[in-house]
A and B are shown apart, each in its own frame.
Chain A
Amino acid sequence: METTASVHDSLAERAADTPGAQDKAAIAVRGRRQASLLRIRGELGLGWKIGLGALGVVAFLSVWAVKAAMMHKRSVLPTPAATWSALLDLKSAGILTTDLWASLQRVLIGYSISVVIGVVVGVAIGTFASVEAFFEAQIGFLRYIPATALTPVFLLLLGLDEAPKIWLIIVGTVFYNILMTADVARAVPRELLNASYTLGAGRITVLRRVILRHSAPGIIDVARINLAAAWLMLVVAEILAAKQGLAYQVVRAQRFRAVDKMFAILLVFGLIGLASDVLLRWLRNLSSPWARP
Protein backbone atom coordinates (compact mmCIF):
# COMPACT_ATOMS: atom_id res chain seq x y z
CA MET A 1 0.00 0.00 0.00
CA GLU A 2 2.88 2.32 0.73
CA THR A 3 4.30 1.88 -2.71
CA THR A 4 1.05 2.92 -4.35
CA ALA A 5 1.05 5.94 -2.12
CA SER A 6 4.54 7.06 -3.08
CA VAL A 7 3.70 6.56 -6.74
CA HIS A 8 0.79 8.91 -6.12
CA ASP A 9 3.13 11.40 -4.54
CA SER A 10 5.60 11.46 -7.38
CA LEU A 11 2.75 11.72 -9.88
CA ALA A 12 1.50 14.76 -8.05
CA GLU A 13 4.99 16.21 -8.05
CA ARG A 14 5.38 15.71 -11.76
CA ALA A 15 2.06 17.38 -12.35
CA ALA A 16 3.22 20.33 -10.24
CA ASP A 17 6.36 21.15 -12.19
CA THR A 18 5.93 20.52 -15.85
CA PRO A 19 9.52 19.83 -17.03
CA GLY A 20 9.05 16.41 -15.44
CA ALA A 21 11.03 13.27 -15.92
CA GLN A 22 14.28 14.60 -17.43
CA ASP A 23 14.73 17.10 -14.60
CA LYS A 24 14.12 14.37 -12.10
CA ALA A 25 17.25 12.60 -13.12
CA ALA A 26 19.34 15.78 -13.22
CA ILE A 27 18.31 17.34 -9.92
CA ALA A 28 19.60 15.85 -6.71
CA VAL A 29 17.03 15.36 -3.98
CA ARG A 30 17.21 16.56 -0.40
CA GLY A 31 15.16 15.45 2.55
CA ARG A 32 13.16 12.43 3.51
CA ARG A 33 10.10 11.98 1.38
CA GLN A 34 6.96 11.79 3.52
CA ALA A 35 4.86 8.65 3.42
CA SER A 36 1.27 9.14 2.45
CA LEU A 37 -0.89 6.55 4.22
CA LEU A 38 1.37 5.89 7.18
CA ARG A 39 2.54 9.43 7.79
CA ILE A 40 2.71 10.14 11.51
CA ARG A 41 -0.26 12.36 12.40
CA GLY A 42 -1.07 12.52 8.71
CA GLU A 43 -4.39 13.65 7.32
CA LEU A 44 -6.50 11.28 5.27
CA GLY A 45 -8.92 12.01 2.46
CA LEU A 46 -12.57 11.10 2.96
CA GLY A 47 -12.40 8.36 0.31
CA TRP A 48 -9.49 6.69 2.06
CA LYS A 49 -11.20 7.01 5.43
CA ILE A 50 -14.38 5.31 4.27
CA GLY A 51 -12.48 2.75 2.21
CA LEU A 52 -10.18 1.73 5.06
CA GLY A 53 -13.09 1.64 7.51
CA ALA A 54 -15.05 -0.66 5.22
CA LEU A 55 -11.95 -2.80 4.70
CA GLY A 56 -11.57 -3.17 8.46
CA VAL A 57 -15.17 -4.27 8.89
CA VAL A 58 -14.91 -6.73 5.99
CA ALA A 59 -11.68 -8.13 7.44
CA PHE A 60 -13.33 -8.63 10.81
CA LEU A 61 -16.38 -10.31 9.31
CA SER A 62 -14.26 -12.63 7.14
CA VAL A 63 -12.09 -13.74 10.06
CA TRP A 64 -15.30 -14.40 11.98
CA ALA A 65 -16.88 -16.31 9.07
CA VAL A 66 -13.76 -18.43 8.47
CA LYS A 67 -13.35 -19.19 12.15
CA ALA A 68 -17.05 -20.11 12.42
CA ALA A 69 -16.78 -22.45 9.42
CA MET A 70 -13.73 -24.15 10.97
CA MET A 71 -15.50 -24.69 14.28
CA HIS A 72 -18.73 -25.68 12.61
CA LYS A 73 -18.99 -29.13 14.19
CA ARG A 74 -18.67 -27.97 17.79
CA SER A 75 -21.25 -25.22 17.21
CA VAL A 76 -19.83 -22.73 19.70
CA LEU A 77 -19.31 -19.95 17.19
CA PRO A 78 -22.20 -19.08 14.85
CA THR A 79 -21.55 -17.65 11.41
CA PRO A 80 -22.27 -13.95 10.84
CA ALA A 81 -25.27 -14.98 8.72
CA ALA A 82 -26.67 -17.23 11.45
CA THR A 83 -26.21 -14.45 13.98
CA TRP A 84 -28.05 -12.02 11.76
CA SER A 85 -31.00 -14.36 11.24
CA ALA A 86 -31.10 -15.05 15.00
CA LEU A 87 -31.29 -11.30 15.51
CA LEU A 88 -34.28 -11.13 13.16
CA ASP A 89 -35.88 -14.05 15.05
CA LEU A 90 -35.42 -12.24 18.35
CA LYS A 91 -36.95 -9.17 16.86
CA SER A 92 -40.04 -10.95 15.52
CA ALA A 93 -40.44 -12.84 18.82
CA GLY A 94 -40.67 -9.48 20.58
CA ILE A 95 -37.81 -10.35 22.91
CA LEU A 96 -35.75 -7.59 21.47
CA THR A 97 -38.33 -4.95 22.32
CA THR A 98 -39.23 -6.01 25.85
CA ASP A 99 -35.76 -7.01 27.01
CA LEU A 100 -33.99 -4.20 25.21
CA TRP A 101 -36.40 -1.74 26.78
CA ALA A 102 -35.95 -3.26 30.24
CA SER A 103 -32.16 -2.94 30.01
CA LEU A 104 -32.27 0.47 28.38
CA GLN A 105 -34.55 1.77 31.12
CA ARG A 106 -32.18 0.63 33.86
CA VAL A 107 -29.20 2.23 32.19
CA LEU A 108 -31.07 5.45 31.41
CA ILE A 109 -32.33 5.89 34.98
CA GLY A 110 -29.17 4.77 36.75
CA TYR A 111 -26.74 6.54 34.48
CA SER A 112 -28.75 9.79 34.42
CA ILE A 113 -28.62 9.92 38.21
CA SER A 114 -24.91 9.16 38.07
CA VAL A 115 -24.25 11.96 35.55
CA VAL A 116 -26.28 14.48 37.58
CA ILE A 117 -24.35 13.61 40.75
CA GLY A 118 -21.13 13.65 38.75
CA VAL A 119 -21.79 17.14 37.40
CA VAL A 120 -22.91 18.66 40.70
CA VAL A 121 -20.16 17.15 42.86
CA GLY A 122 -17.50 17.18 40.13
CA VAL A 123 -17.95 20.84 39.23
CA ALA A 124 -18.01 21.75 42.92
CA ILE A 125 -14.76 19.82 43.52
CA GLY A 126 -13.09 21.39 40.50
CA THR A 127 -14.19 24.87 41.54
CA PHE A 128 -13.93 25.08 45.33
CA ALA A 129 -10.80 23.95 47.16
CA SER A 130 -12.93 23.45 50.29
CA VAL A 131 -15.28 20.99 48.57
CA GLU A 132 -12.29 19.22 47.08
CA ALA A 133 -10.69 18.84 50.51
CA PHE A 134 -13.96 17.43 51.90
CA PHE A 135 -14.39 14.77 49.20
CA GLU A 136 -10.83 13.95 48.18
CA ALA A 137 -10.04 11.30 50.79
CA GLN A 138 -13.38 9.48 50.71
CA ILE A 139 -13.63 9.38 46.91
CA GLY A 140 -10.00 8.35 46.65
CA PHE A 141 -10.84 5.39 48.86
CA LEU A 142 -14.30 4.50 47.58
CA ARG A 143 -13.42 4.47 43.92
CA TYR A 144 -10.98 1.62 44.41
CA ILE A 145 -13.65 -0.68 45.80
CA PRO A 146 -14.77 -2.67 42.74
CA ALA A 147 -18.43 -1.84 42.34
CA THR A 148 -19.09 -5.36 41.11
CA ALA A 149 -18.00 -6.64 44.53
CA LEU A 150 -20.92 -4.73 45.99
CA THR A 151 -23.46 -6.70 43.97
CA PRO A 152 -24.22 -9.23 46.74
CA VAL A 153 -24.54 -6.39 49.25
CA PHE A 154 -27.05 -4.59 47.10
CA LEU A 155 -29.05 -7.75 46.43
CA LEU A 156 -29.16 -8.43 50.15
CA LEU A 157 -30.15 -4.90 51.01
CA LEU A 158 -32.52 -4.09 48.21
CA GLY A 159 -33.96 -7.40 47.06
CA LEU A 160 -34.22 -8.59 43.50
CA ASP A 161 -36.15 -5.68 42.00
CA GLU A 162 -34.99 -2.81 39.87
CA ALA A 163 -33.44 -0.90 42.77
CA PRO A 164 -30.24 -2.95 43.21
CA LYS A 165 -29.57 -2.89 39.46
CA ILE A 166 -29.95 0.86 39.27
CA TRP A 167 -27.84 1.33 42.38
CA LEU A 168 -25.14 -0.84 40.92
CA ILE A 169 -25.05 1.27 37.77
CA ILE A 170 -24.82 4.45 39.84
CA VAL A 171 -22.07 3.17 42.12
CA GLY A 172 -20.13 1.68 39.23
CA THR A 173 -19.96 4.94 37.29
CA VAL A 174 -20.44 7.87 39.63
CA PHE A 175 -16.85 8.12 40.85
CA TYR A 176 -15.48 8.22 37.32
CA ASN A 177 -18.07 10.85 36.43
CA ILE A 178 -17.20 12.95 39.49
CA LEU A 179 -13.44 12.81 39.08
CA MET A 180 -13.43 13.39 35.34
CA THR A 181 -15.94 16.23 35.59
CA ALA A 182 -13.79 17.82 38.29
CA ASP A 183 -10.88 17.79 35.84
CA VAL A 184 -13.05 19.40 33.19
CA ALA A 185 -14.06 22.17 35.62
CA ARG A 186 -10.44 22.68 36.65
CA ALA A 187 -9.52 23.20 33.01
CA VAL A 188 -11.46 26.47 32.81
CA PRO A 189 -8.66 29.05 32.35
CA ARG A 190 -8.08 31.18 35.44
CA GLU A 191 -7.76 34.28 33.27
CA LEU A 192 -11.28 33.72 31.97
CA LEU A 193 -12.56 33.70 35.56
CA ASN A 194 -10.50 36.79 36.39
CA ALA A 195 -11.79 38.60 33.31
CA SER A 196 -15.34 37.77 34.43
CA TYR A 197 -14.76 39.16 37.93
CA THR A 198 -13.36 42.39 36.52
CA LEU A 199 -16.48 42.68 34.36
CA GLY A 200 -18.51 42.77 37.55
CA ALA A 201 -19.63 39.13 37.72
CA GLY A 202 -20.19 37.52 41.13
CA ARG A 203 -19.45 33.93 42.08
CA ILE A 204 -22.87 32.56 41.09
CA THR A 205 -22.69 34.22 37.69
CA VAL A 206 -19.15 32.97 37.16
CA LEU A 207 -20.14 29.44 38.17
CA ARG A 208 -23.25 29.33 36.03
CA ARG A 209 -22.32 31.37 33.00
CA VAL A 210 -18.59 30.75 32.75
CA ILE A 211 -17.53 27.52 34.48
CA LEU A 212 -20.60 25.43 33.58
CA ARG A 213 -20.78 26.83 30.07
CA HIS A 214 -17.09 26.27 29.43
CA SER A 215 -17.35 22.74 30.86
CA ALA A 216 -20.43 21.67 28.88
CA PRO A 217 -18.67 19.94 25.96
CA GLY A 218 -16.19 18.30 28.33
CA ILE A 219 -19.00 17.02 30.53
CA ILE A 220 -20.78 15.49 27.53
CA ASP A 221 -17.50 13.78 26.60
CA VAL A 222 -17.12 12.41 30.12
CA ALA A 223 -20.69 11.07 30.02
CA ARG A 224 -20.01 9.46 26.65
CA ILE A 225 -16.80 7.77 27.76
CA ASN A 226 -18.18 6.39 31.04
CA LEU A 227 -21.40 5.11 29.49
CA ALA A 228 -19.57 1.89 28.65
CA ALA A 229 -19.07 1.27 32.38
CA ALA A 230 -22.81 1.68 32.95
CA TRP A 231 -23.53 -1.16 30.50
CA LEU A 232 -20.88 -3.27 32.17
CA MET A 233 -22.60 -2.86 35.55
CA LEU A 234 -25.97 -3.59 33.98
CA VAL A 235 -24.73 -6.89 32.62
CA VAL A 236 -23.34 -7.91 36.01
CA ALA A 237 -26.65 -7.09 37.66
CA GLU A 238 -28.75 -8.87 35.07
CA ILE A 239 -26.62 -11.99 35.04
CA LEU A 240 -27.04 -12.38 38.79
CA ALA A 241 -30.69 -11.59 39.20
CA ALA A 242 -33.17 -10.62 36.51
CA LYS A 243 -36.26 -11.86 34.77
CA GLN A 244 -35.84 -9.52 31.84
CA GLY A 245 -33.10 -7.74 30.03
CA LEU A 246 -30.48 -8.26 27.36
CA ALA A 247 -27.87 -9.90 29.61
CA TYR A 248 -30.58 -12.11 31.10
CA GLN A 249 -31.36 -13.28 27.56
CA VAL A 250 -27.67 -14.07 26.99
CA VAL A 251 -27.68 -16.29 30.09
CA ARG A 252 -30.93 -17.92 28.99
CA ALA A 253 -29.56 -18.58 25.51
CA GLN A 254 -26.53 -20.20 27.11
CA ARG A 255 -28.80 -22.65 28.94
CA PHE A 256 -30.31 -23.71 25.62
CA ARG A 257 -26.90 -23.70 23.90
CA ALA A 258 -28.35 -21.17 21.44
CA VAL A 259 -25.06 -19.55 20.53
CA ASP A 260 -26.53 -17.72 17.58
CA LYS A 261 -28.93 -15.96 19.94
CA MET A 262 -26.12 -15.09 22.34
CA PHE A 263 -24.14 -13.52 19.56
CA ALA A 264 -27.19 -11.69 18.25
CA ILE A 265 -27.57 -10.03 21.65
CA LEU A 266 -23.88 -9.15 21.76
CA LEU A 267 -24.47 -7.50 18.41
CA VAL A 268 -27.30 -5.48 19.97
CA PHE A 269 -24.99 -4.31 22.77
CA GLY A 270 -22.48 -3.16 20.21
CA LEU A 271 -25.07 -1.34 18.14
CA ILE A 272 -26.51 0.46 21.17
CA GLY A 273 -23.02 1.56 22.18
CA LEU A 274 -22.28 2.82 18.70
CA ALA A 275 -25.59 4.69 18.50
CA SER A 276 -25.16 6.38 21.88
CA ASP A 277 -21.61 7.36 21.00
CA VAL A 278 -22.70 8.99 17.76
CA LEU A 279 -25.65 10.67 19.50
CA LEU A 280 -23.54 12.16 22.28
CA ARG A 281 -20.86 13.37 19.85
CA TRP A 282 -23.58 15.04 17.85
CA LEU A 283 -25.04 16.60 20.99
CA ARG A 284 -21.61 17.93 21.96
CA ASN A 285 -21.05 19.57 18.60
CA LEU A 286 -24.58 20.91 18.51
CA SER A 287 -24.40 22.44 21.98
CA SER A 288 -20.84 23.72 21.69
CA PRO A 289 -19.82 24.35 18.10
CA TRP A 290 -17.05 26.62 19.43
CA ALA A 291 -15.27 23.64 20.97
CA ARG A 292 -15.21 21.62 17.76
CA PRO A 293 -11.71 20.47 17.02
Chain B
Amino acid sequence: MTALDVVGVSKVFRRRRQEVTALDSVDLHVDTGELVCLVGASGCGKSTMLSIIGGLDEATTGKVLVDGELVVGPGADRGMVFQGYSLYPWKTVADNISFGLEVARWPKAKRAERVRELLGVVGLTDFSDALPKELSGGMKQRVAIARALAPEPDVLLLDEPFGALDAQTKRHLQDFLLTVWRSLGVTILMVTHDVDEAIYLSSRIYVMSARPGRIAEEVDVPFGQSRGPLIKRDPRFLDLRDELNDLIG
Protein backbone atom coordinates (compact mmCIF):
# COMPACT_ATOMS: atom_id res chain seq x y z
CA MET B 1 0.00 0.00 0.00
CA THR B 2 1.24 3.46 -0.83
CA ALA B 3 1.84 5.63 2.22
CA LEU B 4 3.27 8.63 0.40
CA ASP B 5 2.61 9.78 -3.13
CA VAL B 6 4.27 12.75 -4.83
CA VAL B 7 2.56 13.62 -8.10
CA GLY B 8 4.11 15.97 -10.64
CA VAL B 9 5.62 18.38 -8.12
CA SER B 10 7.47 21.39 -9.55
CA LYS B 11 9.02 24.27 -7.68
CA VAL B 12 10.03 27.54 -9.27
CA PHE B 13 11.89 30.24 -7.36
CA ARG B 14 11.97 33.79 -8.57
CA ARG B 15 15.31 35.44 -8.02
CA ARG B 16 16.10 38.90 -9.38
CA ARG B 17 13.56 38.64 -12.19
CA GLN B 18 15.01 35.28 -13.09
CA GLU B 19 13.07 32.07 -12.72
CA VAL B 20 14.96 29.12 -11.32
CA THR B 21 13.34 25.72 -11.59
CA ALA B 22 14.40 23.83 -8.47
CA LEU B 23 12.12 20.85 -9.06
CA ASP B 24 10.71 19.75 -12.40
CA SER B 25 7.61 17.49 -12.24
CA VAL B 26 8.87 15.05 -9.65
CA ASP B 27 6.94 11.80 -9.18
CA LEU B 28 7.78 9.42 -6.38
CA HIS B 29 6.09 7.15 -3.91
CA VAL B 30 6.92 5.29 -0.72
CA ASP B 31 5.00 2.16 0.28
CA THR B 32 3.94 1.47 3.84
CA GLY B 33 6.85 0.10 5.84
CA GLU B 34 9.37 0.90 3.13
CA LEU B 35 12.67 2.73 3.61
CA VAL B 36 13.41 4.79 0.52
CA CYS B 37 16.31 7.16 -0.12
CA LEU B 38 16.43 10.21 -2.33
CA VAL B 39 20.02 10.82 -3.42
CA GLY B 40 21.50 13.66 -5.39
CA ALA B 41 24.33 16.15 -5.51
CA SER B 42 24.10 19.16 -3.22
CA GLY B 43 21.81 21.82 -4.62
CA CYS B 44 19.75 19.41 -6.72
CA GLY B 45 16.57 20.23 -4.86
CA LYS B 46 16.22 17.07 -2.80
CA SER B 47 15.86 18.96 0.48
CA THR B 48 13.28 21.25 -1.11
CA MET B 49 11.37 18.14 -2.15
CA LEU B 50 11.41 16.88 1.45
CA SER B 51 10.29 20.29 2.76
CA ILE B 52 7.34 20.22 0.37
CA ILE B 53 6.38 16.74 1.57
CA GLY B 54 6.71 17.96 5.16
CA GLY B 55 4.41 20.87 4.34
CA LEU B 56 7.07 23.45 5.22
CA ASP B 57 7.34 24.63 1.63
CA GLU B 58 4.73 24.95 -1.11
CA ALA B 59 4.93 23.34 -4.50
CA THR B 60 4.40 25.59 -7.51
CA THR B 61 2.46 22.80 -9.21
CA GLY B 62 1.64 19.20 -8.36
CA LYS B 63 0.53 17.58 -5.14
CA VAL B 64 1.61 15.41 -2.24
CA LEU B 65 -0.68 12.72 -0.85
CA VAL B 66 -0.27 10.85 2.44
CA ASP B 67 -2.54 7.81 2.72
CA GLY B 68 -4.55 9.34 -0.11
CA GLU B 69 -5.00 12.69 1.69
CA LEU B 70 -3.74 15.97 0.28
CA VAL B 71 -0.90 17.71 2.15
CA VAL B 72 -1.56 21.43 2.67
CA GLY B 73 0.82 22.16 5.57
CA PRO B 74 3.03 20.65 8.23
CA GLY B 75 1.70 18.12 10.70
CA ALA B 76 2.74 15.44 13.16
CA ASP B 77 1.73 12.72 10.69
CA ARG B 78 4.97 13.51 8.83
CA GLY B 79 7.71 13.56 11.44
CA MET B 80 10.89 15.28 10.31
CA VAL B 81 14.52 15.06 11.37
CA PHE B 82 17.02 17.69 10.24
CA GLN B 83 20.77 17.66 9.82
CA GLY B 84 21.23 20.25 12.59
CA TYR B 85 19.39 18.18 15.28
CA SER B 86 17.23 21.23 16.20
CA LEU B 87 16.42 20.03 19.70
CA TYR B 88 14.90 22.44 22.23
CA PRO B 89 18.01 23.47 24.17
CA TRP B 90 16.03 24.28 27.35
CA LYS B 91 14.26 20.91 27.47
CA THR B 92 15.67 17.67 28.82
CA VAL B 93 15.91 14.65 26.53
CA ALA B 94 12.62 13.27 27.91
CA ASP B 95 10.83 16.61 27.53
CA ASN B 96 12.10 17.00 23.98
CA ILE B 97 10.64 13.63 23.07
CA SER B 98 7.44 14.49 24.90
CA PHE B 99 6.80 17.80 23.09
CA GLY B 100 4.79 16.39 20.19
CA LEU B 101 2.70 14.35 22.62
CA GLU B 102 1.91 17.42 24.72
CA VAL B 103 0.87 19.31 21.62
CA ALA B 104 -1.39 16.39 20.68
CA ARG B 105 -2.82 16.43 24.25
CA TRP B 106 -1.90 12.90 25.18
CA PRO B 107 -2.82 12.16 28.82
CA LYS B 108 0.15 12.46 31.16
CA ALA B 109 0.48 8.78 32.04
CA LYS B 110 0.33 7.68 28.41
CA ARG B 111 2.88 10.35 27.54
CA ALA B 112 5.32 9.15 30.18
CA GLU B 113 4.92 5.58 28.99
CA ARG B 114 5.56 6.50 25.35
CA VAL B 115 8.63 8.55 26.28
CA ARG B 116 10.01 5.68 28.36
CA GLU B 117 9.43 3.27 25.50
CA LEU B 118 11.22 5.53 22.99
CA LEU B 119 14.11 6.22 25.35
CA GLY B 120 14.59 2.46 25.41
CA VAL B 121 14.39 2.20 21.61
CA VAL B 122 17.06 4.86 21.11
CA GLY B 123 19.14 3.62 24.05
CA LEU B 124 19.10 6.87 26.03
CA THR B 125 17.21 5.80 29.15
CA ASP B 126 20.12 6.91 31.33
CA PHE B 127 20.13 10.35 29.72
CA SER B 128 16.44 11.19 30.08
CA ASP B 129 17.21 14.19 32.33
CA ALA B 130 20.20 15.51 30.35
CA LEU B 131 20.08 18.75 28.38
CA PRO B 132 20.94 18.63 24.66
CA LYS B 133 24.18 20.55 25.22
CA GLU B 134 25.43 17.67 27.37
CA LEU B 135 25.02 15.14 24.54
CA SER B 136 27.27 14.15 21.64
CA GLY B 137 26.14 14.72 18.06
CA GLY B 138 25.12 11.09 17.59
CA MET B 139 23.06 11.11 20.79
CA LYS B 140 21.37 14.37 19.80
CA GLN B 141 20.31 12.88 16.50
CA ARG B 142 18.91 9.81 18.27
CA VAL B 143 16.84 12.13 20.46
CA ALA B 144 15.62 13.98 17.36
CA ILE B 145 14.58 10.68 15.77
CA ALA B 146 12.78 9.60 18.95
CA ARG B 147 11.05 12.99 19.14
CA ALA B 148 9.83 12.70 15.54
CA LEU B 149 8.66 9.12 16.14
CA ALA B 150 6.80 9.91 19.37
CA PRO B 151 3.47 11.10 17.89
CA GLU B 152 3.37 7.93 15.73
CA PRO B 153 3.78 9.55 12.31
CA ASP B 154 2.65 7.83 9.11
CA VAL B 155 5.91 8.77 7.43
CA LEU B 156 9.29 9.71 8.86
CA LEU B 157 11.18 12.25 6.76
CA LEU B 158 14.93 12.44 7.30
CA ASP B 159 16.89 15.34 5.79
CA GLU B 160 20.59 14.41 5.65
CA PRO B 161 20.27 13.22 9.26
CA PHE B 162 23.83 11.90 9.54
CA GLY B 163 25.52 14.57 7.44
CA ALA B 164 27.12 16.36 10.38
CA LEU B 165 28.45 13.25 12.11
CA ASP B 166 31.90 11.67 11.98
CA ALA B 167 32.30 8.47 9.96
CA GLN B 168 32.20 6.08 12.90
CA THR B 169 29.14 7.63 14.56
CA LYS B 170 27.49 7.72 11.17
CA ARG B 171 27.93 3.95 10.75
CA HIS B 172 26.50 3.36 14.23
CA LEU B 173 23.49 5.51 13.53
CA GLN B 174 22.87 3.87 10.16
CA ASP B 175 22.64 0.49 11.91
CA PHE B 176 20.53 2.12 14.60
CA LEU B 177 18.13 3.44 11.96
CA LEU B 178 17.85 -0.02 10.40
CA THR B 179 17.02 -1.48 13.81
CA VAL B 180 14.36 1.14 14.45
CA TRP B 181 12.93 0.65 10.98
CA ARG B 182 12.75 -3.13 11.39
CA SER B 183 11.42 -3.17 14.95
CA LEU B 184 8.81 -0.42 14.61
CA GLY B 185 7.88 -0.99 10.96
CA VAL B 186 7.88 2.74 10.19
CA THR B 187 7.75 4.20 6.70
CA ILE B 188 10.84 6.27 6.00
CA LEU B 189 11.90 8.66 3.25
CA MET B 190 15.46 9.84 3.67
CA VAL B 191 17.38 12.48 1.75
CA THR B 192 21.13 12.01 1.47
CA HIS B 193 24.03 12.85 -0.81
CA ASP B 194 25.90 9.75 0.36
CA VAL B 195 25.43 6.96 -2.20
CA ASP B 196 26.88 4.26 0.08
CA GLU B 197 24.48 5.25 2.80
CA ALA B 198 21.53 5.10 0.42
CA ILE B 199 22.43 1.60 -0.82
CA TYR B 200 23.19 0.36 2.67
CA LEU B 201 19.88 1.52 4.13
CA SER B 202 17.16 1.54 1.55
CA SER B 203 15.14 -0.93 -0.43
CA ARG B 204 14.62 1.56 -3.22
CA ILE B 205 16.53 4.65 -4.32
CA TYR B 206 15.44 7.67 -6.29
CA VAL B 207 18.36 9.42 -7.97
CA MET B 208 17.94 13.11 -8.63
CA SER B 209 19.77 15.15 -11.23
CA ALA B 210 20.43 18.83 -10.69
CA ARG B 211 19.23 22.02 -12.38
CA PRO B 212 16.41 21.43 -12.76
CA GLY B 213 15.86 18.80 -10.08
CA ARG B 214 14.44 15.73 -11.77
CA ILE B 215 14.15 12.08 -10.88
CA ALA B 216 16.84 10.64 -13.15
CA GLU B 217 16.42 7.02 -12.13
CA GLU B 218 14.62 4.71 -9.78
CA VAL B 219 16.78 1.83 -8.57
CA ASP B 220 15.81 -1.29 -6.65
CA VAL B 221 18.37 -2.36 -4.07
CA PRO B 222 18.72 -6.15 -4.21
CA PHE B 223 19.57 -6.88 -0.56
CA GLY B 224 16.10 -7.29 0.95
CA GLN B 225 15.75 -7.36 4.71
CA SER B 226 19.07 -9.07 5.44
CA ARG B 227 21.42 -6.13 5.70
CA GLY B 228 24.62 -5.82 7.56
CA PRO B 229 28.14 -4.49 7.20
CA LEU B 230 28.96 -7.47 4.96
CA ILE B 231 26.89 -6.23 2.05
CA LYS B 232 29.34 -3.40 1.59
CA ARG B 233 31.74 -6.00 0.14
CA ASP B 234 29.15 -7.62 -2.08
CA PRO B 235 30.09 -7.05 -5.76
CA ARG B 236 26.51 -5.93 -6.43
CA PHE B 237 26.96 -3.18 -3.85
CA LEU B 238 30.07 -1.93 -5.60
CA ASP B 239 28.46 -2.05 -9.06
CA LEU B 240 25.41 -0.20 -7.79
CA ARG B 241 27.61 2.42 -6.19
CA ASP B 242 29.46 3.09 -9.44
CA GLU B 243 26.18 3.24 -11.34
CA LEU B 244 24.63 5.73 -8.93
CA ASN B 245 27.73 7.90 -8.76
CA ASP B 246 27.71 8.12 -12.55
CA LEU B 247 24.05 9.11 -12.51
CA ILE B 248 24.60 11.87 -9.98
CA GLY B 249 27.59 13.15 -11.91
Contacts and interface: CB of A to CB of B under 8 A. Distances in A.
Contacts of B103: 199-202, 205
Given A195-B80, A198-B78, A198-B80, A290 B100 contact: no
Contact of B76 (A192, A199, A210): A199
A59 interface: no
B89 A198 contact: no
B3 to A, nearest CB: 16
Given A191-B82, A191-B84, A290-B131, A198 B90 contact: no
Interface string B42-68: 000000000100111000000000000
A199 B88 contact: no
Interface string A180-194: 000000000101101
A199 B78 contact: no
Given A290-B131, A290-B133, A192 B75 contact: no
Contacts of B80: 194-195, 198
A275 to B, nearest CB: 27
B89 A199 contact: no
A213 interface: yes
B140 to A, nearest CB: 12
A165 interface: no
A197 B55 contact: yes
Contacts of B88: 192, 210, 213-214
A87 B83 CA distance: 60
A288 interface: yes
B147 interface: yes
Contacts of A201: 99-100, 103
A196 B91 CA distance: 13
B70 interface: no
Given A200-B103, A200-B151, A195 B86 contact: yes
Q: Which of A200, A202, A210, A213 has the most CB of B within 10 A?
A: A200
A198 B84 contact: no
Contacts of A191: 82, 84, 86
Contacts, number: 71
A195 B76 contact: no
Interface in A168-190: 189
A199 B82 contact: no
B228 to A, nearest CB: 31
Interface in B141-170: 144, 147-148, 150-151, 157
A198 B79 contact: yes
Nearest to A196: B99
A145 interface: no
A194 B56 contact: yes
B74 interface: yes
Given A189-B86, A191-B86, A290-B90, A198 B131 contact: no
B89 A200 contact: no
B75 A200 contact: yes
A291 interface: yes
23 contacts: A191-B82, A192-B88, A194-B54, A194-B74, A194-B80, A195-B80, A195-B86, A197-B55, A198-B54, A198-B74, A198-B75, A198-B80, A199-B103, A200-B75, A200-B76, A201-B99, A205-B103, A213-B90, A214-B89, A289-B131, A290-B131, A290-B133, A291-B90
Contacts of B147: 195, 199
A200 B90 contact: no
B230 interface: no
Nearest to A288: B90
B104 interface: yes
Nearest to B104: A200
- Identify the interface centre among A192, A199, A213: most chain B CB within 10 Å of its CB: A199
Q: Which 9 A-B pairs have the closest CB atoms?
A: A200-B76, A199-B100, A197-B74, A198-B80, A191-B86, A195-B86, A290-B90, A200-B103, A290-B89
B86 A194 contact: yes
Interface core residue of A191, A195, A213, A290 (most chain B CB under 10 Å):
A195
A256 B88 CA distance: 59
Contacts of B148: 198-199
A200 B105 CA distance: 11
A290 B88 CA distance: 10
A191 B74 CA distance: 13
Given A194-B56, A194-B80, A197-B74, 18 more contacts: A189-B86, A194-B54, A194-B82, A197-B55, A198-B56, A198-B76, A198-B79, A198-B148, A199-B76, A200-B103, A200-B104, A201-B103, A213-B88, A213-B90, A214-B88, A214-B90, A290-B131, A290-B132
A199 B90 contact: no
Interface in A256-293: 288-291
Contacts of A202: 103
Contacts of A210: 88
